[in-house]
């Protein structure tokens, strides 16, 4: 069984020397597919906070938030996230996946409707499945299609929850949020924005697409994760809606799993402080994204039209994508290989995600590897 598994599912980072370098298959490799947008996994302040918390409070909580697993650090992190977003309520979950499971299965129920962008992440689909609301998809980033569906639902006089992402995880494109907000307001719907890939990446102070688009007062729930720009693991939902607090009593993904370890809470709190005080990291990330996007696009690869820290190269067939992925790896560059059903529109993707921690030389080397592989077929 194991022998038949494709290589790209079995990559091992054998020795990690920085947020952007590891040994893979015995070879020093530049990591260009990690979601480590600000490079904070190896930040010395985050590591120190994490070690101190483990020494003081132990390696784990050994329980659910609802039982013995709520420590002062969880409450402090929830308070700091509320303060960051300027909202009244925040709940922290053990992963971003669980945050989506909890919100989408609990915020609406039978007789109500979730309208989700077709390209939403698997955790959003799974959350919908766990709950009892009717689920309807609209075409990716198509506000007219969303409006058409909202108009049809108007007759039903029921709660409708629209779900979109800030930056879409696979293609790296943004939601047209100002237009989505206008439509959801017109129809009295609620809106969830999953900022997993945009927290720390977009907005003047890093609060994501909601901040960048200037629509924070119109977004009802923001979901996010600690596993990308914050460099740890965990998830959250923040809102001014008092009903959010009920999730603590009603949601299985909150109740029936152990809470975040003290070290994770401590490094996440420190990383949040860094996002708030060091905008230069975000600027560096975008500088890297702009340079690599221009280089790869200039070489003629099928990438999206606008720069993003996620650069997806689209292939119609898996063999061609695999040959390219393998060629990059042979040249010491790791990117993600993405296959259906995770690829919007079918085919295969090579997905690069950039980091503020990539040096200009590393960006050059990634670009050179793409240049050397032009026209590669299996």
State in angstroms the smallest separation of the CB of 33 from ligand PMP: 12
DSSP readout, 44-106? Answer: HHHHHHHHHHHHHH-S---SBTTTT---HHHHHHHHHHHHHHT-SEEEEESSHHHHHHHHHHH
Active site residue 82: no
Q: How far is the CB of 120 from ligand PMP (least distance, A)?
A: 7
**Contact region for ligand PMP (CB under 6 A) — 9-17, 95-103, 109-117, 183-191?**
95-103
Dihedral sign (CA 69, 253, 175, 324)? positive
Using the rule CB under 6 A, which residue among 36, 43, 100, 251 binds ligand PMP? 100
Identify whether the C-beta of residue 253 lies closer than 8 Å to the C-beta of residue 51.
no
DSSP-assigned letter for residue 285: H
Output 28 or 340, the one with its CB closest to ligand PMP.
Answer: 340
What is d(CA 182, CA 150) in angstroms, rounded to the nearest whole number? 12
Measured CA angle at 77 (ends 126, 263), to 5 deg: 85
CB of 95 to ligand PMP, least distance (A): 4
323-349 burial code (b ≥16 CB/10 A, e <16): bbbbebbebbbbbbbbbeeebbeebbb
> Does 228 qualify as catalytic in the annotation?
yes
Q: For residue 94, state whether it binds ligand PMP (rule: CB under 6 A).
A: no
Minimum distance between the CB of residue 227 and ligand PMP, rounded to whole angstroms? Answer: 3
Number of C-beta neighbours around residue 250 at 10 A: 14
- Sites for ligand PMP among residues 311-340 (CB under 6 A): none
Please indicate whether residue 123 is annotated as part of the active site.
no
Scan residues 120-159 and list those touching ligand PMP (CB under 6 A).
121, 123
- Asked whether position 198 contacts ligand PMP by CB under 6 A, the answer is no
31 forms beta bridges with 334
Name the residue nearer to ligand PMP (CB basis): 169 or 263.
169
Smallest distance, ligand PMP to C-beta of residue 321, A:
19
Contact residues for ligand PMP, defined by CB under 6 A: 95-97, 100, 121, 123, 165, 169, 194, 196-197, 225, 227, 235
Cite the active site residues: 169, 197, 228
């Amino acid at each position: 069984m194991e022998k038949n598994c494709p290589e790209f599912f079995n990559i091992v980072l054998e020795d990690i020397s920085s947020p952007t370098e590891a040994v893979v298959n015995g070879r020093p490799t530049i990591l260009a597919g990690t979601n480590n947008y600000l490079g904070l996994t190896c930040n010395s302040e985050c590591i120190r906070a994490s070690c101190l918390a483990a020494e003081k409070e132990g390696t784990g909580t050994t329980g659910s938030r609802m039982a013995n697993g709520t420590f002062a650090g969880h409450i402090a992190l929830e308070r700091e996230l509320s303060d960051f977003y300027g909202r009244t309520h925040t709940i922290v979950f053990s992963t971003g996946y669980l945050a989506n499971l909890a919100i989408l299965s609990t915020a609406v129920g039978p007789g109500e409707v979730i309208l989700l962008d077709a390209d939403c992440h698997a955790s959003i689909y799974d959350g919908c499945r766990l709950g009892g609301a009717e689920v309807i998809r609209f075409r990716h980033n198509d506000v007219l299609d969303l409006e058409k569906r909202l108009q049809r639902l108007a007759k039903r006089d029921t709660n409708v929850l629209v779900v979109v992402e800030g930056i879409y995880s696979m293609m790296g494109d943004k939601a047209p949020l100002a237009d989505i907000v206008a439509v959801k307001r017109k129809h009295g719907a609620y809106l969830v924005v999953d900022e997993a890939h945009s927290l720390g990446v977009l907005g003047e102070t890093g609060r994501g697409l909601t901040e960048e688009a200037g629509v924070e007062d119109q977004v009802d729930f923001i979901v996010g994760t600690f596993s990308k720009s914050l460099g740890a693991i965990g998830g959250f939902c923040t809102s001014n809606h008092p009903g959010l607090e009920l999730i603590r009593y009603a949601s299985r993904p909150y109740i029936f799993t152990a809470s975040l370890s003290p070290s994770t809470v401590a490094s996440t709190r420190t990383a949040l402080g860094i996002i708030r005080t060091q905008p230069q990291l975000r600027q560096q990330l975008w500088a890297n994204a702009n340079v690599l996007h221009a280089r790869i696009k200039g070489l003629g690869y099928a990438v999206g039209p606008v720069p993003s820290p996620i650069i997806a190269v689209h292939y119609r067939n898996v063999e061609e994508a695999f040959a390219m992925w393998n060629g990059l790896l042979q040249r010491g560059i790791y990117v993600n290989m993405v296959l259906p059903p995770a690829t919007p529109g079918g085919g295969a993707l090579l997905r690069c995600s950039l980091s503020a921690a990539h040096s200009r030389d590393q960006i050059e080397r990634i670009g050179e590897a793409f240049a050397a592989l032009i026209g590669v077929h299996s």
